[in-house]
Structure 1
Amino acid sequence: MSFTSRFTGYCRCQLVLINPALNRRRIYFLEICQGLFHVVLFRAWGRIGYRVRCKEEWYPRIEDAVKEANRLYREKTRKGYRETTLK
């Protein structure tokens, strides 16, 4: 899978970063979905087992949301996050 084309349309992914030696247990969630008038890029992040922070960004075109989601995905994978299956 190419990092530049992880998102191509409406979809979601979950990333985790677990490093017991550094006491790091983090989660990051990305989803591109259709809003009423715009395309929504939804993000959630935080420590596993604790309350997560959320953010929504609205885009007029899906191409803009896909570009930003791929940028965020590349940024997180460079920091050590790995994709997991959604439950």
Structure 2
Amino acid sequence: MPVTSRFTGYCRCQLVLINPAMNRRRIYFLEICQGLFNVVLFRAWGRIGYRVRCKEEWYVHIEDAIKEANRLYREKTRKGYQETSHYG
């Protein structure tokens, strides 16, 4: 049964996709945090061991950030990413 709502407020998660047969070692990081005036959805992704790409999206309401974070989480888990507890 897929997770439909991983994010419920301010939090973060790290997803990894490791498939040696296809030479895939990918990481995806999501975090919802409070900015100075707005809510920020921070994303970072890339190949493990290399420079990652980052993107920030600003939202007026936390509900919109949660909705987008859950959508991204579902998309990545459908592609085979798994959540890990390491944030380093």
Shared fold, TM over 0.5: yes
Structure 1: segments with no counterpart, 5+ residues? none
SS in 2 for 1:70: helix
Deviations 1:4-55 (A, max 9, x none): 2200000000000000000000000000000000000000000000000000
Find the aligned partners of 1:2 and 1:58 in 2 and give their Cα distance: 27
Shift of 1:86: 2.2
> Are positions 1:41 and 2:45 aligned together?
no
Shift of 1:2: 5.8
Q: CA RMSD in A?
A: 1.2
The alignment of Structure 1 onto Structure 2 pairs a total of residues equal to: 87
TM-score, normalised via structure 1 length: 0.96
Listed as ranges, the matches of 1:19-34 within 5 Å are 19-34=19-34
